[in-house]
Homo-oligomer: A and B are copies of this chain.
Amino acid sequence: MNAKEIAIYNKIKQAIIQQKLRPNMQLVETEIAESFGVSRTPIRNVLRRLSYERLVKIIANKGTFVTSSSKEEAKEVFEMRRILEGEAVKKACLLATEEQLLELEQMVEEEEKTHLDIEYYDAIQMSGEFHLKIAEMAGNSYFYQYLEDLISLTHVIISIYGKNQEEKDACLHHRHIFHAIKKRDEQLAAELALEHLIDMENNLQFSDKNQLSVSLTEIFNPK
């Protein structure tokens, strides 16, 4: 993707994460193209990329729709995050440079400072960036590539199933994880990272009312 497409990609992605584009909403190519002042071609490229990341679902000859992760898909996302972030944080303990540790600490401090002031959706975005920074420190580009997608999806999942009280402990957890990495305590860091993710998952409410139905058939004629 070139710079122009990346800009469009980031805006659409952020709109999905910030729930301006809600799950199941249709993304009509011509409408998006018009709003960005370009033709359908680059829009189609961006939507394809987003579909590969599972943030949208393209149905042939029908349209592109914002992802509405099921309970099962959400579980898959969290399981894979535990696997990858557990390993990533261990590698980060081994490889972190002093400069990276400083950057990570600054991210935690930034998070704590703005903790209550800022918009809710900015808060979870900052939280995501902390996790991504650790992925970056792990010294294997696949951690970053995979976790970038999984974390984006987590944001969508929280927007569907969250109880809007997620980040109450997140900053504290992040600080603890940071300290473990700084002490280069692999075992502790991994444990804390897993606990943190399990906490996030436990804060989801998979009740029926949070399930966004794909069609009215599901509401009126459930099997």
Q: How far apart sit A176 and B180, CA to CA, in the bound complex (Å)? A: 38
For A77, list chain B residues within 8 Å (CB): 142
Measured CB to CB, the closest approach of chain B to A64, in angstroms, equals: 13
User: A142: nearest residue on chain B (CB-CB)?
Assistant: B80
Interface residues of A in 123-150 (CB under 8 A from B): 140-143, 146, 150
User: A3: nearest residue on chain B (CB-CB)?
Assistant: B60
A79 touches B49 (CB 8 A): no
How many copies altogether? 2
Decide yes or no: A79 and B2 within 8 Å by CB, A45-B48, A49-B52 being known contacts: no
Measured CB to CB, the closest approach of chain B to A81, in angstroms, equals: 10
For A84, list chain B residues within 8 Å (CB): 83
Q: How far apart sit A76 and B144, CA to CA, in the bound complex (Å)? A: 12
Partner of A52, one of B52, B76, B79, B140: B52
For A143, list chain B residues within 8 Å (CB): 80
Q: How far apart sit A121 and B62, CA to CA, in the bound complex (Å)? A: 39
Interface string of A184-201 (1 = CB under 8 A from B): 000000000000000000
Q: How far apart sit A146 and B142, CA to CA, in the bound complex (Å)? A: 9
Q: Can you name 20 A-B pairs with beta carbons within 8 Å?
A: A2-B60, A45-B48, A48-B48, A48-B49, A49-B52, A52-B52, A76-B140, A76-B141, A76-B142, A77-B142, A79-B140, A80-B140, A80-B142, A80-B143, A83-B83, A83-B84, A83-B87, A142-B146, A142-B150, A146-B146
Q: Known A-B contacts: A52-B52, A83-B83. Give 10 more (CB < 8 A).
A: A45-B48, A48-B49, A76-B140, A76-B142, A79-B140, A80-B140, A80-B142, A80-B143, A83-B87, A146-B146
